Amino acid sequence: MSQRIVITGASSGIGAALAWEYAGRGYDIGLCARRAENMEVLCTELHARYPSQQFIYETLDVNNLESVAPVLKTLAARLGSIDVLIANAGVTGVRRTGNGKLDIDVGIIQTNLLGAIATIDAAIAIFREQDRGHLVGISSFSAFRGIPGSAAYSASKAALSNYLEAVRTELHKKNIQVTTIHPGFIKTDLADNMERFPFVIEAPKAARLMAEAIRKRKKEATVPAWPWNFLRILMKKMPDSVVAKMF
């Protein structure tokens, strides 16, 4: 029997790359995101390549917190169950503090943290009922060190990583695994001018590395491991003046 995975934020970027990676691994896949037309095209392309597998989608905006659980339950019913759920939906944003545009930060926190929490809560409810499952949260390297100009984004990902750690500890006696992924710089169709940053990798490679970490049921993984595991330690010790020049 094929394993079944649900991916949020799956209409483009890392989510779409993960869909292609898991399709290649033989999974039946449930996609959810805001852009139904993108998911319809993606499901059609996936089915053309892998006709024996199931590819379905449901429209979901994780900012509509009350809709998250019903949509995930619908996907679970349509697939038969969920073996892995990847909470990937998120947004980036740049804002220098002091300009008064708090709506930017509010939107980032709403999507990246509250939307993710709603997804995690709904997934764990399904997994408790099934008595099994694997939850994966896509955080960020910026969870380890706040990035100038991206304070809200960094804060949202640090909070998400902390939340996932607490959930994993809470469930340590259950047959439910929790993995936190901390990507470095990933080039996708959603990220402009990524070439100016160091150690950038393409989304398909990132998806492959993430899938391997998930397969190994790691508690957490930095993608790619080199050089970000080293930089994770180094950047915490860097003076603020040095980090400010980097970004």
For the annotated catalytic residues, the residue numbers are 153
CB-count burial class (<10 Å; 0-12, 13-18, 19+) for 194? middle
CB neighbours of 87 closer than 8 A, spacing ≥ 6? 8, 116, 119, 120, 123, 135, 136, 137, 138
CB neighbours of 183 closer than 8 A, spacing ≥ 6? 14, 138, 139, 140, 141, 206, 210, 222, 223
- Rounded Cα distance, 120 and 68, in Å: 10
CB neighbours of 121 closer than 8 A, spacing ≥ 6? 68, 69
Question: At 68, is the secondary structure helix, strand, or coil?
Answer: helix
Residue in 238, 236, 217 with CA at minimum distance from that of residue 142: 236
Using the structure block, give the residue that is written with the tokens 């199931």. Answer: 54
DSSP type of residue 95: B
- Rounded Cα distance, 108 and 158, in Å: 13
Residues recorded for the chain: 247
Is the Cβ–Cβ distance between 20 and 11 less than 8 Å? no
